[in-house]
Structure 1
Amino acid sequence: MKSVSPWAPFRQRAFAVLWIATVVSNTGTAMHSLGSGWLMTTLTPDPLMVALVQAATMGPLLLLALPSGALADILNRQRLLLTVNGLMALAAATLAGLVALGWMSATLLLFFVFLLGTGAAFIAPAWQAIVPQLVPRETLGAAIALNSTGINVARAIGPALAGVLIVGGGLAAPFFVNSLSFLVIVAALLWWRPAAQPASALPVEGLGEAIVNGLRYALHSAPLRATLVRGAAFFLFASAYWGLLPLIARTSLGGSAQLYGVLLGCVGVGAVLGAVLLSWVKPRLGADRTVALGTLGTALVLAVFSLIANPYAGALASLLAGVSWIFALSSLQLSAQTALPNWVRARGLSVFMMVFAGSMALGSTLWGLIAAQLGIDAALLIAAGSALVAIPLTWPAKLGQGEGLDLAPSMHWPAPLVLADLPQERGPVMTTIEYRIDPADVPAFLTLMREQAQARRRSGAVQWWIMEDAAAPGHYVETFVEGSWVAHLRHHERVAGADRVIQEQIRALHRGDAPPLVRHLLAPPVV
């Protein structure tokens, strides 16, 4: 694998401007995270309530990832991002005002954390889906790593600033600054002029249909399924660090808000270092071993915090946590990105984010409960051991399977021969394709048809089967069903280059002068 400079995406002006704006916005978010975590420790010392701050942050992404991803695929992504960032600025300003007035409670804090998490849930799929529009494909991995680095640069800056602001201006100060940071991203989005995307003549999918189609694609995409398995195995145990860190700083290490900020800052510095190292490590180890290395590092971090109650050891462990996090997260995100074509990119990424958020929210709650019952040290050790066990258990799920696939629309299907006035909403539609296969080629044919079945389902087929004519051995009929005529027309637009390769291999096995016979059968119109 050829190495790409980790800074190559900055040659694209749009990427550079939006990256800087997101660093500013994420710095505000990091300040909010420290402020809300520390504020909760002042409102209640209950470990579960402290851990629920992390759960309330990630919970909306779990609940809303699919509809937000669908909206990002069927609406203008730039307008969606502008609207949601503006609303989040208003919510953050309201939170700051309530804290300043002394009207905040633990329950109300969780509500506002959940509200801002809801905004983040609508931003995340759209934001990640526009990254391939900003950089060439060969630098996509570096761009993803830089985005993750940007988040962690913000984590390095934000907590330190928040700690200073809390000491100098009170607990409301970081929340006020966070509200202003959203306006920076709004300004950058207003400046950005994205290139026009190819427009379809077909009507836009409805929200419910878009969600179902996104789930169907994820279910039948082997590269994405493998990424989800590996992601869940990492995030579930890494969440012990993020969920319990405020309590570790305050209780285990006996520190203040400044120490908590220092630990988060060390994570950010480690992530920057990890992004630089990643351009050297990943080409040599590959995605699978890089994620395994990140998991090993995370397990070591959890063990250090469990066994050594020393702020300096905690700072070093947090540096390693940042390196490990960037190794795993960037590799997983690239694997997800390359598994998806543009028409379903935000929805597929939203499924990845749903697994991420679900694992983090579930893990934070689980480790908070275990810490409440057995103590923080025991919870961290259990998480470390479980992370190590997960490596061999999930190893068969290989990452990066989509990197060599051509997922762009091939547009090689001819237009179906039908009546010109056929209503697009008419359906369901059954498509049949007849093949003549030599007996010696049947095993290869059926193997290819299994791959074809997954491709048909990814592109919209709700049913698929292959049957052989009992009166004519070697005469096979492939059948798949779609919900409407417009759904079938969308299938024509979505057939990928990788699907075309499979179809050409199947066509090569067909015997006879004429090509396979294709028929489109529709349910009778309602009279």
Structure 2
Amino acid sequence: MTTPVHPTTPAADAPPPPETRTGSAWAPLRHPWFRRLWIAQFASSVGGWMQTVAAQWLMLTLTSAALPVALVQTALSLPVFLVGLPAGALGDVMDRRRLLIIAQGFTLVAAAGLAVLTFVGLMTPWLLLLFTFLIGTGGALMAPAWIAVQPELVSREEIPQATAMNAVSINLSRAVGPAIGGLIVAVLGAAAAFAVNAVSFLGSLIALKRWPRPRELRPLGAEPIMSAMRTGLAYVRHSPPVRAVLMHASIFLLFSSALWALLPVVAAKHMHLGSAGYGLLLSAVGLGAVIGAALLNWARERLGLEMVVRACSVLFGLGMVEIALSPHVLAMDLVILVIMGIAFIGGLSSLSAAAQTALPSWVRARAMAVYLLVFQGTQAVGAAIWGAFAQGYGTDLALAIAGAGVVIGPLAAHGYHVGLGAHYEREISPLSIEPRVGPRTDHDSNPVLVIRDYKVDPEHARDFENAMRLVRGSRRRFGAQRWNLYHDAADPTRYVETFTANNWQEHLRQHTERMTEADRMMDELAERYARGEPRTRHLIGTE
């Protein structure tokens, strides 16, 4: 690994981390392209909920069996697990704007095909599931790239507010989309709802086509998909901030999923509400999401992001316990659900913001794809667990236990600290010095062994070894494998660092595309305890 040419460390007067900044909760909407794309995505999300309602209702008219109706939701969710990680890799190796346009165009065609076949009376249960699956696939292809471009649309300090605004969009569309969809199906039929959904994608497609996103420079070309997926998983594995987010999110979602799985049962059997009453309960959660977005930045500035996550867990969990144990008075339950909506958006949008600010651009879509897989998978598993528990022991007991789990969950993750990424967690310019290599022609297919020799005085040995532990994490995050540090038994001043890369091209990417300011600082910290410049050698495998 070549030492950076112009080593720098954060200056004493460097700008403070984003958690100390102030700003309006609605500040992201001042950015024209964030505003346009946010509005377009909100319309598309409303159309998606309309499509779900129409598809479930149409399935009821096509077959009387319960399983096909349930499979409509499965067909929408399954693509996340099948294409989520490859979609994240594509979001990093392709131009993200182009990928978003392709995904939106694919989804529009699938939605239009569903509408046409329904209009002409050719729809069957299996065709309905197929087109629902295709629409879900388009959404799964788009999701990681969409999250990854958010930091490009706003300033770094506004990422938490932008994340909250996107959560507001999801919750508002969940509140109004099913109602609008049900009305259109009742008046005009399912085909009309499918057609409106297809039209809703046009806004996003037009906005993306007009978005003047600067073209990304890729001096080494596009990274192979399998390599990109492998590197993305390695980054998540070796990134403490990302692991912390995944730990907190999985615990929160595992227990909180009980509410979304069992709320229809509570509405129907305990509160004796119909579908309109159930929609009112969901609307209360959506209203809470809007209020939460307005309060989140204020709370984060005063309490810090991690304390906001803990407070939101407590509020949401106590709300679940209250719903489980209290007599069901509609007005009181609506107030509780509003508070829970505030807590839900506050907790999850804070965790999402922590993940986004901790991730450099080169791996952001891949890592966020892992986040989405954890998000969807934990909710799916949690819903099944709590549904089975409620069937055996009762809905109230299931909600009460799950609520207690949400409250105490952060204690189980007390060693995993979450916060907004520091201002130096970003890419630096490509290094002007690259490893020298001879004229062989097989460098792109054979593994590379990097060897670095350090001279360290004995009095600095312990500090050097501690610094190299940080270097190990840095190397592993941007793709190095089999990292080791050796101490020469015959020469107490000599240390040897070794690590491997799959091929020469992969090693060059570590130099030119992946190193961040924080990585460079870790190198400098270790070299501070060494005498002179470390000697670096690159050995290329012969087979």
Scaled by the length of structure 1, the TM-score of the pair is 0.91
- Look up the equivalent residue of 1:220 and give its one-letter code: H
Partner residue, 2:298:
280
1:338 aligns to what SS in structure 2? Answer: helix
1:477 aligns to what SS in structure 2? Answer: strand
Q: Which residue of 388, 413, 428 corresponds with 1:409?
A: 428
Partner residue, 1:218:
236
Partner Cα separation in structure 2 for residue 124 and residue 509 of structure 1: 44
**Kindly tell me: are residues 455 and 473 of structure 1, through their superposed partners in 2, closer, same or farther at Cα, counting changes over 3 Å?**
same
Q: Please say if 1:392 is aligned against 2:411.
A: yes
Q: Please say if 1:67 is aligned against 2:67.
A: no
Q: CA deviation at 1:147?
A: 1.4
Partner Cα separation in structure 1 for residue 270 and residue 123 of structure 2: 30
Partner Cα separation in structure 2 for residue 496 and residue 56 of structure 1: 39
Q: Which residue of 330, 349, 365 corresponds with 2:349?
A: 330
Q: Which residue of 510, 526, 539 corresponds with 1:506?
A: 526
Q: Which residue of 376, 379, 382 corresponds with 2:398?
A: 379
Partner residue, 1:523:
541
Alignment map for 1:80-229 (pairs within 5 Å): 80-95=99-114, 113-170=132-189, 173-197=192-216, 199-229=217-247
1:464 aligns to what SS in structure 2? Answer: strand
Q: CA deviation at 1:95?
A: 4.7
- Look up the equivalent residue of 1:141 and give its one-letter code: P
Partner Cα separation in structure 2 for residue 491 and residue 54 of structure 1: 41
**Equivalent pair of 2:353/2:420 in contact (CA under 8 Å):** no
**Equivalent pair of 2:359/2:425 in contact (CA under 8 Å):** no
Q: Which residue of 355, 379, 382 corresponds with 1:363?
A: 382
Partner residue, 1:312:
331
Q: CA deviation at 1:399?
A: 0.7
Partner Cα separation in structure 2 for residue 56 and residue 379 of structure 1: 27
2:537 aligns to what SS in structure 1? Answer: strand
- Look up the equivalent residue of 2:297 and give its one-letter code: S
Alignment map for 1:238-249 (pairs within 5 Å): 238-249=256-267
**Kindly tell me: are residues 370 and 170 of structure 1, through their superposed partners in 2, closer, same or farther at Cα, counting changes over 3 Å?**
farther
**Equivalent pair of 1:297/1:321 in contact (CA under 8 Å):** yes
2:358 aligns to what SS in structure 1? Answer: coil
Partner Cα separation in structure 2 for residue 236 and residue 177 of structure 1: 34
Partner residue, 2:97:
78
- Which string of whole-angstrom CA distances, capped at 9 and with x for unpartnered residues, describes residues 366-407 of structure 1? 223233333333332232122223121112211126334432
Scaled by the length of structure 2, the TM-score of the pair is 0.88
Q: Please say if 1:342 is aligned against 2:361.
A: yes
Q: Please say if 1:230 is aligned against 2:230.
A: no
Alignment map for 1:427-442 (pairs within 5 Å): 427-442=446-461
1:238 aligns to what SS in structure 2? Answer: helix
Q: CA deviation at 1:172?
A: 5.3
Q: CA deviation at 1:78?
A: 1.8
Partner Cα separation in structure 2 for residue 55 and residue 289 of structure 1: 35
**Equivalent pair of 1:270/1:320 in contact (CA under 8 Å):** yes
Q: Please say if 1:460 is aligned against 2:479.
A: yes
**Equivalent pair of 1:299/1:385 in contact (CA under 8 Å):** yes
- Look up the equivalent residue of 2:355 and give its one-letter code: A
**Kindly tell me: are residues 310 and 109 of structure 1, through their superposed partners in 2, closer, same or farther at Cα, counting changes over 3 Å?**
farther
**Kindly tell me: are residues 102 and 126 of structure 1, through their superposed partners in 2, closer, same or farther at Cα, counting changes over 3 Å?**
same
1:273 aligns to what SS in structure 2? Answer: helix
Partner Cα separation in structure 2 for residue 155 and residue 437 of structure 1: 60
**Kindly tell me: are residues 312 and 31 of structure 1, through their superposed partners in 2, closer, same or farther at Cα, counting changes over 3 Å?**
farther
Partner Cα separation in structure 2 for residue 90 and residue 254 of structure 1: 41
**Alignment RMSD:** 2.7
**Kindly tell me: are residues 95 and 363 of structure 1, through their superposed partners in 2, closer, same or farther at Cα, counting changes over 3 Å?**
farther
Q: CA deviation at 1:413?
A: 6.7
**Equivalent pair of 1:55/1:361 in contact (CA under 8 Å):** no
- Look up the equivalent residue of 2:523 and give its one-letter code: Q
- Which string of whole-angstrom CA distances, capped at 9 and with x for unpartnered residues, describes residues 331-390 of structure 1? 011111011111111001111111111111111222232333333333322321222231
- Look up the equivalent residue of 1:204 and give its one-letter code: A
**Equivalent pair of 1:429/1:488 in contact (CA under 8 Å):** yes
Q: CA deviation at 1:235?
A: 1.4
Partner residue, 2:340:
321
**Kindly tell me: are residues 420 and 140 of structure 1, through their superposed partners in 2, closer, same or farther at Cα, counting changes over 3 Å?**
farther
Partner Cα separation in structure 1 for residue 246 and residue 533 of structure 2: 39
Q: Which residue of 17, 33, 53 corresponds with 1:14?
A: 33
**Kindly tell me: are residues 15 and 424 of structure 1, through their superposed partners in 2, closer, same or farther at Cα, counting changes over 3 Å?**
farther
Partner Cα separation in structure 1 for residue 132 and residue 271 of structure 2: 26
- Which string of whole-angstrom CA distances, capped at 9 and with x for unpartnered residues, describes residues 237-292 of structure 1? 22222233344434433333322322222222111110001011111111112112
**Equivalent pair of 2:244/2:417 in contact (CA under 8 Å):** yes
- Look up the equivalent residue of 2:435 and give its one-letter code: P
Overall identity of the aligned pairs, in %: 39
**Equivalent pair of 2:449/2:501 in contact (CA under 8 Å):** yes
**Kindly tell me: are residues 246 and 424 of structure 1, through their superposed partners in 2, closer, same or farther at Cα, counting changes over 3 Å?**
farther
Partner Cα separation in structure 2 for residue 471 and residue 348 of structure 1: 43
Partner Cα separation in structure 2 for residue 132 and residue 437 of structure 1: 41
> 176-185 vs 61-70, which deviates more?
176-185
Partner Cα separation in structure 2 for residue 171 and residue 256 of structure 1: 21
**Kindly tell me: are residues 173 and 353 of structure 1, through their superposed partners in 2, closer, same or farther at Cα, counting changes over 3 Å?**
same
**Kindly tell me: are residues 75 and 458 of structure 1, through their superposed partners in 2, closer, same or farther at Cα, counting changes over 3 Å?**
same
Q: Which residue of 259, 265, 285 corresponds with 1:267?
A: 285
Partner Cα separation in structure 1 for residue 130 and residue 320 of structure 2: 29
1:449 aligns to what SS in structure 2? Answer: helix
**Kindly tell me: are residues 57 and 240 of structure 1, through their superposed partners in 2, closer, same or farther at Cα, counting changes over 3 Å?**
farther
Partner Cα separation in structure 2 for residue 417 and residue 371 of structure 1: 64
Q: CA deviation at 1:499?
A: 1.1
> 108-117 vs 26-35, which deviates more?
108-117
> 270-279 vs 242-251, which deviates more?
242-251
- Look up the equivalent residue of 2:419 and give its one-letter code: G
- Which string of whole-angstrom CA distances, capped at 9 and with x for unpartnered residues, describes residues 152-199 of structure 1? 2222332332343344345555444322212221121122121222x1
2:454 aligns to what SS in structure 1? Answer: strand
**Equivalent pair of 1:38/1:257 in contact (CA under 8 Å):** no
Q: Please say if 1:295 is aligned against 2:317.
A: no
